[in-house]
């Protein structure tokens, strides 16, 4: 599910690069916080005024999105949680994905604790990955604030017109939640879903 998206997120912390076979290999993965070999972001990264604590969701990433909201978005099947591990596409942090069977649409949420622990967390990490020479991120654009929290659109390229919207939500200066809405009709449709999931995530964290 969402293989291209996983590759893009992998680029943030692991420095993944594509090989001729089309897979991703991690290179120069930092071994401790603050050692990520990335250029400093340009300085226009929005700060998070009131950080949110996501600690309790590290082991329950599916709990970040309210069930009522998922039902409204027609995701009736349980989400598929994946823990953070050494697989390249899962180094960014624990994630949860939902799919609508027979519809081709899906939502993926990643809690970027792996990026944070590697010194590449938050919206600053997204910005730095975009600015990295020859990096996989070729698209970065400010997104509307979500319940008072800053956000960015980012991707390997701008795929929003094709119904694939990727968003990073800053919940602390060093921690972001990435939301991916895939397989929708177009930019407005997919990004509306991403924004709604982001808003639901903020509400969950505020009530935790």
**pTM (two decimals):** 0.82
Q: For residue 25, name the pLDDT band (cuts at 50, 70, 90).
A: very low
Give residue-wise pLDDT tens across range 93-149. 999 999 998 889 999 999 999 999 999 999 999 999 999 888 788 999 999 999 999
Give residue-wise pLDDT tens across range 126-138. 999 999 888 788 9
Q: What does the DSSP assignment read for the chain?
A: --HHHHHHHHHHHH--EE-TTS-EE--S--SSTT----PPP-S-PPP-SS----GGGSS-GGGGS-HHHHHHTT--SPPEEE---SSGGGTT--EEEEE-TTT--EEEEEE-HHHHHTT--HHHHHHHHHHSTT-S--EEEEEEEETTEEEEEEESS--GGGT-EEEEEEEETTEEEEEEEES-SSHHHHHHHHHHHHHHHHHHHHH-
* β-sheet bridge partners, residue 81: 96
**Mean pLDDT across 58-82:** 96
Q: For residue 39, name the pLDDT band (cuts at 50, 70, 90).
A: very low
Spatial CB neighbours of 204, under 8 Å, sequence gap ≥ 6? 57, 63, 64, 65, 66
């Amino acid at each position: 599910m969402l293989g291209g998206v996983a590759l893009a997120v992998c680029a943030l912390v692991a420095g993944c690069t594509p090989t001729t076979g089309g897979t991703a290999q991690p290179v120069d993965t930092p071994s401790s916080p603050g050692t990520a070999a990335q250029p400093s972001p340009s300085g226009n990264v929005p700060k998070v005024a009131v950080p949110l604590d996501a600690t309790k969701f590290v082991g329950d990433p599916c709990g970040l999105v309210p069930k009522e909201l998922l039902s409204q978005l027609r995701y009736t099947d349980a989400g598929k949680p994946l823990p953070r591990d050494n697989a390249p596409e899962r180094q960014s942090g624990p994630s949860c994905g939902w799919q609508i069977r027979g519809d081709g649409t899906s939502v993926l949420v990643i809690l970027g604790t792996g990026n944070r622990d590697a010194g590449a967390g938050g919206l600053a990490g997204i910005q730095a990955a975009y600015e990295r020479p020859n990096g996989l991120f070729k698209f970065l654009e400010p997104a509307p604030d979500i319940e008072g929290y800053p956000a960015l659109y980012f991707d390997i390229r701008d795929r929003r017109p094709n119904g694939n919207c990727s968003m990073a939500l800053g919940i602390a200066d060093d921690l972001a939640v990435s939301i991916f809405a895939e397989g929708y009709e177009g930019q407005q449709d997919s990004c509306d879903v991403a924004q709604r999931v982001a808003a639901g995530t903020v509400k969950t964290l505020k009530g935790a």
